[in-house]
């Protein structure tokens, strides 16, 4: 009786796998369109499918290409971007409501925002605010190192805070 398995199925069954597929990065135009869409829609719940549609790719293709291009996953990038904007806003206005800020930046609730902020910076938003309020001068620093799309924001220099990882690409 003849086998009906494909060569790939036979290789998989015998423990052989094909060579990993090389993933090309997003083109500069695709990356720019995706990042502009993300920035424009950051306040709402963004789905990978929505951004992929903007650059005419499938969800799967966009996810892989975005990771190769930026050095981080789509979800990690969204969180990093939202926290960077939150840091800039908090440094500019220490009287901001955490609940409103969380909602404005697309976090589902204040707890999620606080957890993401602490994970990125090493401080809770309230601790960050206290440090900012205690400082007399706040020199301008970019919210995400290497990301030139955000204007220089006045952010406080909180001692011991983890710095955000720069993106692998430069716009």
Distance CA 91, CA 156 (A): 6
Which of 97, 91, 77 is closest to 147 using CA atoms? Answer: 77
Q: Mean pLDDT by 10-residue block, N- to C-terminus, for the chain (171 residues)?
A: 57 57 90 96 93 96 96 95 93 87 92 95 91 63 49 47 40 40
Give the pair of three-digit tokens for residue 121: 């910076």
In the chain, what is the greatest distance between 2 CA atoms, to the nearest angstrom? 83
In Å, how far are 23, 33, 61, 80 from 102, measured between CA atoms?
A: 35, 25, 30, 14
pLDDT at 131: 85
Distance CA 136, CA 128 (A): 14
CATH, domain range 76-154? 1.10.10.60
Q: Where are the domains of the chain?
A: 25-73, 76-154
With 0-12 CB in 10 A as exposed, 13-18 as middle and 19+ as buried, what is 84?
buried
Q: What is the pLDDT of residues 47-97, one digit of tens each?
A: 999 999 999 999 999 999 999 999 999 999 999 999 999 999 998 887 888
């Amino acid at each position: 009786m003849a086998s009906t398995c494909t060569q790939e199925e036979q290789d998989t069954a015998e423990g052989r796998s094909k060579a990993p597929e090389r993933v090309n990065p997003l083109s500069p135009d695709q990356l720019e369109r995706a990042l502009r869409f993300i920035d424009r829609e950051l306040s709402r719940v963004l789905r990978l499918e929505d951004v992929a549609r903007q650059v005419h790719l499938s969800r799967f293709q966009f996810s892989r290409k975005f990771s190769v291009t930026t050095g981080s996953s789509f979800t990690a990038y969204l969180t990093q971007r939202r926290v960077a904007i939150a840091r800039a806003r908090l440094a500019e206005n220490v009287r901001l409501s955490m609940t409103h800020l969380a909602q404005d930046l697309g976090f589902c609730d204040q707890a999620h925002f606080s957890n993401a902020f602490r994970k990125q910076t090493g401080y809770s938003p309230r601790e960050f605010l206290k440090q900012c309020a205690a400082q007399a001068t706040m020199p301008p620093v970019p919210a995400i190192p290497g990301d030139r799309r955000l204007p220089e924001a006045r952010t406080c220099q909180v001692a011991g805070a983890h710095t955000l990882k720069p993106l692998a690409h430069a716009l």
